[in-house]
Amino acid sequence: MTTINTINTINTITGDTRLGDLVTARPHLAARLDRLGLDYCCGGQRSIAAAVDDARLDLAAVLAELDEHTPLDRASRPDWADLGPAELVDHLESTHHAYLDAALPRLVALAVKVADVHGDRHPELRDVQRLVIDLRDDLEPHLRKEEQVLFPMIRELASATAAPGFHCGTLRNPISVMLREHDQAGELLARLRTVANEYRTPDDGCASYRALYDGLVELEVDTHLHVHKENNLLFPQVLAAEDALATGP
């Protein structure tokens, strides 16, 4: 069973546009929303206007900036936006899980190195090091739970003709756990950005210092997009499919 996501391409961005829908239609704007401090992953169901109001930004200026950074042809809808659940979990594993498995050990080692060299002059680096380690310790078990428990059940559901009898009852139960863990990862990323002074490398920062902060920016953007795909695309599809099989034709 393949369920196609039906969010239309967004031709005009307005205050009523939901953040999650915007990133699905125009994923190149994800980094721009991160820079503005607008949460499109865990807060993807919120409108731009509501998020901008909470962030105390000017709505007209934000809309103009988002439109300015959209290609003229506006043909930016990605292939993953129309994947069904089974195909989407394959995409998540090969793209975002693979990225995190490579990036997290490298960033932890780099954070330790930079804190050892520059920590006396920049004591906040000890907090950066601790938070990077906390993030690794938070995300790595999360990835394994998805790969070994949740995603196999989603693949089974996607090929089922009747509601499977899962040991957890309904997939709402493990998905609710994943949503809470996404929130925790988001909080760690937000604290990291604050402690690291918005990832601005100081004048006396070496190449490793810059590499660490550049890597943490990349990690933030990739993880936010990863969470968006699960929270706002995968999980709603899975729950709808499970409900449909439970109620029958």
85 located within any domain:
yes
| Residue finishing a domain among 77, 92, 112 | 77
Encode burial over 17-30: b for 16+ CB neighbours within 10 A, e otherwise. Answer: bbbbbbbbbbbebb
Give the pLDDT score at 72.
Answer: 43
Mean pLDDT by runs of 10 across the 249 residues of the chain is 43 87 85 85 88 91 84 64 95 98 98 96 97 98 97 95 87 96 96 95 94 96 95 95 84
Structure tokens at 241: 């499919």
Domains in the chain: how many in total?
A: 2
Give the pLDDT score at 10.
Answer: 66
Encode burial over 62-91: b for 16+ CB neighbours within 10 A, e otherwise. Answer: bbeebeeebeeeeeebeebbbbbbbbbbeb
Residue 165 and residue 145 share a domain:
yes
Domain residue limits at 48: 19-77
Give the pLDDT score at 13.
Answer: 86
Give the pLDDT score at 78.
Answer: 82
Residue 113 and residue 46 share a domain:
no
Residue 236 and residue 116 share a domain:
yes
Residue 212 and residue 144 share a domain:
yes
Query: By three-state DSSP, how is residue 199 classified?
Result: helix
Q: What are phi and psi of 169, to 5 degrees?
A: 85, -95
Q: Are 195 and 131 in contact (CB under 8 A)?
A: yes
235 located within any domain:
yes
Residue 170 and residue 48 share a domain:
no
10 located within any domain:
no
Give the pLDDT score at 4.
Answer: 36
**What span, in angstroms and rounded, lies between the C-alpha atoms of 134 and 11?**
40
Structure tokens at 75: 């043909």
Residue 134 and residue 44 share a domain:
no
Query: By three-state DSSP, how is residue 18 classified?
Result: strand
Half-sphere exposure of 245 (CA within 13 A, CB side): 20
